[in-house]
Amino acid sequence: MAESAENRVAVYIDFDNIVISRYDQVHGRSAWRKDNVYKLAPGLSDATAEQKDKVRHATVDISAILDFASSFGTIVVSRAYADWSVGVNATYQGQLMERAVDLTQLFPATQQMKNGADIRLAVDVVEDLFRLPDITHVVIAAGDSDYIALAQRAKRLGRYIVGIGVAGGTSKSLAAACNEYADYDSLPGIRPAAHIAAGLVVAPDTVSADTEAPPAKRSRRASTTGAPAGAAAGVEAEAGAGTASAGSTETATSKRAATALIVRALRLVHEADDAEWAHASALKQQMKRLDPAFNEKALGYSSFTSFLKSRATIVELDESTQTRLVRLRE
């Protein structure tokens, strides 16, 4: 969708719905209840090694959801709804605090562990749309059919509705009620559940050269999972360069983070505009959304163009016209 400079985005995450759906997607239908994951203590202190491993493989990348939402405009509201006393939910504290997500506590109202997230989320969305009339986009990360009426009402109020859900745990009617729907597996940087599940059933000593290796463990901010091979290689090359180039005062850590930030932002811009080349100004705007602290001058560069040229191993810059264009190298 074409984006205006005034686009303002509100993000609402039915956290339990997304986390449980992802776990069942990776480990099999109803695996969440069969494994009694919801009964684990905070910090997973009472979990077995197998339980911890299964939780780790099914971890939801909150940053990927928020990064995708930011491709529609500036995020002005971000809320997550769950029973945060549940041990597994508590393990997401770092992710959520790092992205400044507002947490809404919902205690189970019944023995069936229903916490009323759908009602509370719907009430907050409607209230925010009237209280904040400048909101242009509403992103709902959930798969429950209970949100169909909410999506329809928000559309009637003139908002662009984006749904994000987990395959197998999302109502087709909800997807149809949205202006745009994205499968969690398809978000930039997300390893598909089918690949994760396939890796879990292969014994370590039987992995062949044809089997996809698990991605290298790296920080969330520096993640380049899903980037083109050339871009990923460029990130490693930039990270291993050691000292910065002449005139640059970057440290190795900031160099690596800035390089990975370009890859993340450019992938989002490409997907939003569905174009081979992106405007350099749009890229910088997206980078600022992902990391408001980004400033090329603080890294030792006189302009954003100079910064892009220093990353020639991963980005290609076209200066043949007055409008500078950029794309990831293949």
C-alpha to C-alpha distance for 244 and 39, rounded to whole angstroms: 49
Contact residues for 58 (Cβ-Cβ < 8 A; gap 6+) = 19, 22, 23, 25, 26, 27, 196
* pLDDT at residue 7, rounded to an integer: 92
* pLDDT at residue 251, rounded to an integer: 60
* pLDDT at residue 222, rounded to an integer: 37
Residue boundaries of the structural domains of the chain: 8-195, 229-328
Q: Report residue 245: phi and psi, to 5°.
A: -70, 170
| Best CA proximity match to 196, nearest among 53, 18, 306 | 53
Contact residues for 257 (Cβ-Cβ < 8 A; gap 6+) = 221, 222
> CA angle, 194 as apex, 190 and 196 as ends, to 5°?
65
pTM recorded for the entire structure:
0.70
* pLDDT at residue 297, rounded to an integer: 82
* Binned average pLDDT, 10 residues per bin, the chain of 330 residues: 71 94 92 89 86 92 94 95 89 90 82 70 95 96 91 95 89 89 89 82 43 38 43 50 43 77 88 83 87 80 90 90 87
* pLDDT at residue 70, rounded to an integer: 93
- Reply yes or no on domain 229-328 having CATH 3.40.30.10: no
> Which three-class secondary structure state does DSSP give residue 59?
coil
Neighbours of 219 (CB within 10 A): 10
Confirm if 326 and 283 have CB atoms less than 8 A apart: yes
Beta strand segments in the chain, E: 8-14, 74-82, 102-105, 137-141, 160-165, 180-183, 278-279, 315-318, 325-328
Concatenated DSSP letters for 266-324? HHHHHHHHT-SSEEHHHHHHHHHHH-TT--GGGGT-SSHHHHHHTTTTTEEEE-SSSS-
Residue 188 to residues 206, 223, 303, Cα–Cα distance (Å): 29, 10, 27
* CATH class of segment(s) 8-195: alpha beta
> CA angle, 113 as apex, 112 and 116 as ends, to 5°?
110
